[in-house]
């Protein structure tokens, strides 16, 4: 073969290779990442992968095994409405002036860009089914609640027997009105899809199947384990009352002796368990029901993970699981949220997907960090006024250096507010800028926050340092 002919063949071969490369399918890793955004309502960290093996959560456990479980993730306000508005805008409640359950996000912030809106603006299909922004639960099930239309291309609002047959729910204590704050439960012989959360999972699976060929941001908003605690009986059957314990009430009362009154001002009128004349055994039954509802949500999460696997999307989808805040179920004799203690401020958060490491992150992070993290991972430009920070360093290395604290606030009224700062060792809280009391807990030695050290002179330097760090975050009460 002549040299010239040889060179021509080489050139033709090279051109063919280039041509093939141009028309070859784009690898999954080169495509836009999908996002599956999964929310639970009022779920604390009593789940298997967080070390509470009594609670059966095999699907959340397998999700955690795929990615990073954040052991110190905190909400910005332990109340559904402001927490969700804060998360979805990536801004502190004070930044968007959201402190109550009122539907005021767009009224107060007409130009704010939400997470889903950012994805819509970048060509993604954005949809949700169930509760992402605030809904009164169960009263607004089946409606748009306090949803934000600008966030979504499509919205779905199923309603199951937990809403349609409220008269069958057992209540404890002299409770009147709706079941949004209640000690109430029901374990019907039913199928998952008879319930709202089962219908949410069914709809989300259908959306994944339908939109698998284009980038999506799909949000699944489960209403459980928010009260009333309603789930199919098979999930109640996972638990036995003999395994459900409640803190001794004498020790519970002692835990609160050194706590400023404002810290528990919503809870002391009918202490314990929030409602008058609720017995310890009734509280235990509600705790069992709460755990059953967690297992019910877990089963629905499993259906979503299976849908990604079945469609070959797992390797190109960032999966985020979160709850809007933590939840008391009898600790210190308390119930519900809206407190600055660890039990209400801390919630589960798990992130898995391409490029995400596996392991446990012990660094304090915040729900407002999710917005910049999703923008960062998906290569999108987020709004410039976000208060959070991208978690990419911790998703790459869960033990990476992270110097940001987590800040949680409790808003009772304009003249009754608390701000709490959490680093890896300490939780420090000021009520009305310290005028109504302070709290300091050493989590290295007191993880249940039993001993308030704020007034101990041995810890004055620690109090002063944490108070100084907290000052930039405090805006209420106005002085």
Q: Same structural domain for residues 231 and 322? A: yes
What's the pTM? 0.93
- CATH number for 291: 3.40.720.10
Same domain for 463 and 375?
no
E-strand stretches of 205-285 = 216-221, 229-230
**What is the pLDDT at residue 19?**
34
The rounded distance, in Å, linking the Cα atoms of 102 and 149 is 16
Q: Give yes or no for a contact between 327 and 43, defined as CB atoms under 8 angstroms apart.
A: yes
- Asked whether residue 114 is domain-assigned, the answer is yes
Last residue of a domain, one of 355, 390, 408: 408
CATH number for 464: 3.30.1120
- pLDDT of residue 421 exceeding 50: yes
Question: Is residue 193 in a domain?
Answer: yes
Are residues 205 and 83 part of one domain? yes
Using the predicted structure, report yes or no on whether residue 320 has a pLDDT greater than 90: yes
Task: For residue range 326-382, list pLDDT tens digits in order.
Answer: 999 999 999 999 999 999 999 999 999 999 999 999 999 999 999 999 999 999 999
Q: Are residues 439 and 304 in the same domain?
A: no
- Looking at the fold, whether 68 and 177 belong to one and the same domain comes out as yes
Mark whether 392 and 458 lie in a shared domain: no
Model confidence pLDDT, tens digit, residues 220-268: 999 999 999 999 999 999 999 999 999 999 999 999 999 999 999 999 9
pLDDT at 479: 52
Q: Are residues 326 and 421 in the same domain?
A: no
The per-residue pLDDT for 9 is 39
* Cβ pair 290, 229 in contact under 8 A: yes
**CA nearest to 295, candidates 204, 187, 172:** 187
Domain C-terminal end among 408, 430, 462: 408
Structural domain for 175, as ranges: 29-408
Looking at the structure of the chain, the number of domains it has is 2
- Assess if residue 311 is contained within a domain: yes
pLDDT at 31: 81
User: Would you say residue 79 lies in a domain?
Assistant: yes
211 and 349 share one domain:
yes
433 shares its domain with 290: no
* Residue range 51-76: mean pLDDT, rounded: 98
Secondary structure element (H or E) that encloses residue 431, with its range = strand 426-431
| 3-class state of residue 358 by DSSP | coil
Distance CA 211, CA 198 (A): 20
**Does residue 13 lie within any of the structural domains?**
no
- Nearest residue to 353 (alpha-carbon basis) of 382, 389, 377: 377
- Report if residue 67 sits inside a domain: yes
Which residue is it, tokens 């009520």? Answer: 431
Q: Is residue 478 part of a domain?
A: no
Query: Could you tell me if residue 20 is inside a domain?
Result: no
Is 376 in the same domain as 428?
no
Q: Residue 147: which region, alpha, beta or left (left: phi > 0; alpha: psi -120 to 50)?
A: beta
Among 388, 408, 428, the domain-final residue is 408
If asked whether residues 235 and 330 sit together in one domain, one would say yes
DSSP-assigned states of every residue in 19-38: HHHHHSPPPGGGSPPEEEEE
**Contact criterion met (CB below 8 Å) for 323 and 44:** yes
- 301 shares its domain with 398: yes
């Amino acid at each position: 073969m002549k040299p010239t002919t040889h060179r021509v063949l080489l050139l033709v071969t090279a051109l063919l290779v280039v041509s093939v490369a141009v028309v070859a399918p784009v690898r999954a890793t080169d495509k836009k990442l999908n996002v599956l955004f999964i929310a639970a309502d009022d779920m604390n960290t009593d789940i298997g992968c967080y070390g509470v093996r009594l609670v059966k959560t095999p699907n959340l456990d397998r999700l955690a095994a795929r990615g990073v479980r954040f052991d110190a993730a905190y909400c910005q306000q332990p109340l559904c409405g402001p927490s969700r508005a804060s998360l979805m805008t990536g801004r502190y409640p004070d930044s968007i002036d959201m402190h109550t359950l009122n539907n005021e996000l767009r009224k107060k912030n007409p130009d704010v860009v939400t997470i889903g809106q950012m994805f819509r603006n970048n060509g993604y299909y954005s949809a949700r089914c169930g509760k992402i922004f605030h809904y009164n639960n169960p009263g607004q099930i089946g409606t748009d609640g306090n949803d934000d239309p600008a966030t979504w291309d499509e919205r779905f609002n199923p309603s199951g027997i937990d809403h349609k047959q409220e008269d069958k729910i057992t209540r404890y204590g002299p409770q009147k009105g709706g079941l949004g704050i209640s000690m109430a439960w029901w374990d019907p012989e039913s199928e998952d899809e008879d319930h709202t959360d089962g219908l949410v999972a069914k709809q989300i699976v259908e959306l994944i199947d339908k939109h698998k060929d284009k980038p999506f941001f799909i949000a699944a908003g489960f209403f459980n384990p928010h009260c009333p605690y309603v789930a199919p009986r098979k999930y109640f059957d996972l638990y036995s009352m003999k395994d459900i314990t409640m803190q001794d009430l004498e020790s519970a009362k002692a835990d609160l002796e050194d706590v400023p009154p404002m810290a528990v001002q919503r809870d002391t009128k009918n202490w314990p368990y929030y409602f008058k004349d609720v017995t310890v055994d009734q509280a235990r039954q509600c705790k069992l029901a709460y755990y059953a509802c967690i297992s019910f949500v877990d089963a629905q999460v499993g259906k979503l993970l299976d849908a990604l696997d079945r469609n070959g999307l797992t390797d190109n989808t960032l999966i985020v699981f979160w709850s809007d805040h933590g939840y008391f179920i009898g600790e210190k004799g308390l119930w519900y949220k809206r407190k600055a203690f660890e039990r209400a401020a801390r919630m589960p958060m798990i992130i898995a997907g391409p490029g995400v490491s596996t392991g446990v992150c012990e660094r304090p992070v915040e729900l407002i960090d999710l917005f910049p993290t999703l923008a960062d991972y998906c290569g999108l430009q987020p709004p410039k006024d976000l208060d959070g920070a991208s978690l990419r360093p911790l998703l790459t290395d869960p033990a990476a250096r992270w110097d940001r604290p987590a800040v949680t606030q409790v808003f009772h009224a304009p003249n009754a507010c608390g701000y709490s700062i959490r680093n890896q060792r300490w939780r420090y809280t000021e009520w009305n800028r310290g005028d109504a009391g302070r709290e300091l807990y050493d989590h290295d030695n007191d993880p249940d926050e039993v001993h308030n050290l704020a007034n101990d002179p041995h810890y004055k330097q620690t109090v002063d340092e944490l108070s100084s760090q907290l000052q930039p975050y405090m805006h209420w009460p106005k002085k």
